[in-house]
């Protein structure tokens, strides 16, 4: 007699397993429902660009896009600081134009140089294509000079130097005197985005900074 109770108990357990415990949304039986929950869903993994949101199906292609191709990825300048010419008098100065924010923005580079000169270069001031301007480095002697605006920017500055900067040649114009020896400061690639050097009452030393990522 006792074994019938076991059969009954067993039957109740089976009943609950099959029907009562099933929280089926679609009136599925337990096992069907179980199967539908464990079956892998055919969902493709996608990779969105963190800058523009474009969707890619491969992480390799996404990485290439984010590193090299995305127009609005943050711009990374490739800075090259060229050697300087002149002497060691005066105090250090340095100025670099701000960089463009993304690769989609306009490049920012030096597009005008002004200053004062006589037999030597007394002072220098540079202008960036985005409207930024450096301080005037040097003294107040000499006469004003102006390279005029260079639309495509500068890739080199020539001149003469000895203990100080004697002459600057910019945009086919010459400012200063004929002392010292010739020098040529040329970006390997790219454009001039900054200057550095030493100055006091005159321009003692001058070097340039290029961004070789600017075409
Ligand atoms: Zn993108």
CA of 44 to the centre of ligand 1 (A): 20
Mean pLDDT of the chain, nearest integer: 89
Q: What is the pLDDT of residue 150?
A: 97
pLDDT in tens, 34-74: 555 666 677 889 999 999 999 999 999 999 999 999 999 99
Question: What is the DSSP secondary-structure string of 145-192?
Answer: EE----TT--SEEEEEESSSEEEEEETTEEEE-S-SEEEEEE-SSSEE
CA of 104 to the centre of ligand 1 (A): 11
pTM recorded for the entire structure: 0.77
- How far apart are the C-alpha atoms of 57 and 47, rounded to whole Å? 6
CA of 160 to the centre of ligand 1 (A): 47
CA of 58 to the centre of ligand 1 (A): 14
pLDDT in tens, 77-136: 999 999 999 999 999 999 999 999 999 999 999 999 999 999 999 999 999 999 999 999
Contact in structure between 207 and 79 (CB atoms under 8 Å)? no
Q: What is the pLDDT of residue 4?
A: 67
Residue 19 pLDDT greater than 50, yes or no: yes
Quote the strand ranges of the chain, DSSP E: 47-48, 55-56, 79-81, 85-86, 91-96, 110-117, 121-128, 137-138, 143-146, 156-161, 165-170, 173-176, 181-186, 191-199, 203-211
Q: Give the environment of ion ligand 1: residues with CB less than 5 A.
A: 49, 51-52, 54, 70
pLDDT in tens, 122-181: 999 999 999 999 999 999 999 999 999 999 999 999 999 999 999 999 999 999 999 999
Which parts of 59-100 fold into alpha helices (H)? 59-64
Name 192's bridge partners.
Answer: 210
Please report, for residues 6, 46, 207, the alpha-carbon distance to residue 43 in angstroms, rounded to integers and kept in the order given: 46, 9, 58
Q: What is the pLDDT of residue 88?
A: 96
204 conformational bin, left if phi > 0, alpha if psi -120 to 50, beta if neither: alpha
CA of 52 to the centre of ligand 1 (A): 4
Residue reference for tokens 């464990």: 38
Residue 212 pLDDT greater than 70, yes or no: yes
Q: What is the pLDDT of residue 33?
A: 55
Q: What is the pLDDT of residue 17?
A: 47
CA of 108 to the centre of ligand 1 (A): 22
166 contacts: CB under 8 Å, gap ≥ 6: 119, 120, 121, 159, 160, 176, 177, 178, 179, 180
> With the C-alpha atoms ordered 130, 132, 137, 142, is the resulting torsion angle positive or negative?
positive
Nearest to 88 by CA among 175, 192, 165: 165
Going by their DSSP bridges, the two strands 203-211 and 79-81 should be labelled as: antiparallel
Q: What is the pLDDT of residue 42?
A: 73
Name 125's bridge partners.
Answer: 114
CA of 70 to the centre of ligand 1 (A): 4
CA of 105 to the centre of ligand 1 (A): 14
CA of 107 to the centre of ligand 1 (A): 19
CA of 98 to the centre of ligand 1 (A): 23
């Amino acid at each position: 007699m006792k074994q019938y109770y076991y059969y009954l108990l067993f039957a109740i357990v089976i009943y609950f397993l099959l029907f009562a415990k099933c929280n089926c949304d679609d009136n599925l039986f337990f096992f069907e429902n179980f199967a539908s929950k464990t079956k892998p869903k055919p969902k493709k993994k996608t990779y969105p660009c963190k800058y523009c949101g474009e969707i890619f199906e491969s992480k390799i292609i996404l990485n290439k896009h984010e590193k090299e191709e995305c127009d609005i990825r943050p711009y990374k300048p490739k800075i090259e600081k060229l050697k300087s010419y002149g002497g060691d008098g005066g105090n250090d100065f340095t100025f670099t134009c701000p960089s463009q924010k993304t690769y989609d923005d306009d490049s920012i580079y030096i597009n005008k140089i002004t200053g004062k000169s006589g037999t030597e270069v007394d002072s220098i001031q540079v202008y960036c294509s985005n409207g930024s301007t450096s301080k005037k480095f040097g003294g107040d002697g000499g006469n004003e000079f102006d390279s005029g605006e260079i639309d495509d920017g500068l890739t080199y500055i020539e001149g003469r130097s000895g203990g100080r900067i004697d002459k600057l040649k910019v945009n086919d114009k010459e400012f200063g005197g004929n002392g010292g020896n010739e020098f040529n400061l040329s970006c390997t690639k790219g454009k001039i985005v900054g200057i550095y050097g030493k100055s006091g009452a005159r321009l003692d030393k001058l070097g340039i900074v290029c961004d070789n990522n600017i075409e």
